[in-house]
Structure 1
């Protein structure tokens, strides 16, 4: 897998940076295109439902869920 790529996005009215491997960015672009919406909208949706999970991990799980044919990943909280 390739190295991390940091991208800046505006979600929920503020700028944030997210680091993901390039294949995950490609997959998020594909998912957003299939859903006919901007990638920032998809990232914002994931952000609002991620609970305690960091955004990069939540995005990876969203990609995995998509390609496994599931509507969205189960909520995962970090172990203590």
Structure 2
């Protein structure tokens, strides 16, 4: 993981056989790890599922929206 400007962490992942990077703020990475663990998945596997269903949306944005919806569903 590398830290970019503004507290954004960039992490490289292998998704669907290709390497890609995802840039998220720390609270999103933390929530994503929690959601993945709750589902018995690795972060990489969960991001792969998000990637498969995102259409034309930017992957980092798709992950943020996924995390937001998951948190909203808990409340």
TM-score greater than 0.5 by the shorter chain: yes
- TM-score after normalising by structure 1: 0.82
1:25-68 superposed Cα distances (whole Å, 9 cap, x missing partner): 00000000000011111000101110111001000000001011
When the two chains are superposed, the root-mean-square deviation of aligned CA atoms in Å is 1.2
Residue in 2 aligned with 1:59? 63
Unaligned 5+ segments in structure 1 are: 71-80
Residue 30 of structure 2 aligns to a residue whose secondary structure is helix
d(CA) in 2 for partners of 1:68, 1:46: 17
How many residues align? The count is: 69
Residue in 1 aligned with 2:31? 27
CA drift of 1:3 comes to 1.3
Greater helix proportion: 2
- TM-score after normalising by structure 2: 0.87
Unaligned 5+ segments in structure 2 are: 1-5
Q: List structure 1 runs of 4+ shifted beyond 2 angstroms.
A: none
Residue in 2 aligned with 1:10? 14
